[in-house]
Amino acid sequence: MRPSLQLGVLLCVLCAAHLQAQEKRNSLRLCGRALVRALVFTCGGSRWRRQLEETDFWAADGEEPDFLEARDVAVRDLHRRDQDQALITTCCQQGCQRSELSMLC
């Protein structure tokens, strides 16, 4: 291998290692109460208020509820819950960044 190519590969490896170390430094391991506090700080408010503002599948003007739409919403909510739980576990075990916490808002 030519020396210039070896130097280029070495620089790439060093840059990748530096970025990975910097990301690890910016990550915080948050569990339990500390995680809840960080989420309140990051999200800036109550989840309940946001849920009340979402459209409700029960019609206000006497129309029949759309049960297929309700089922789709329930399935989507379960999938979102599973994703959130995976991120919470990762934040507790390995650490996460503020940008990752904002995905839980």
pLDDT tens, residue by residue, 29-54: 999 999 989 988 888 866 545 554 55
Domains of the chain by residue range: 29-102
pTM above 0.85, yes or no: no
pLDDT tens, residue by residue, 25-34: 678 899 999 9
- Using CB atoms within 10 A of its CB, is residue 38 exposed (0-12), middle (13-18) or buried (19+)? middle
- Using CB atoms within 10 A of its CB, is residue 46 exposed (0-12), middle (13-18) or buried (19+)? exposed
| C-alpha separations of 7 from 18, 56, 72 in Å | 16, 60, 54
pLDDT tens, residue by residue, 39-92: 888 888 665 455 545 555 555 555 566 778 888 888 888 888 888 888 899 999
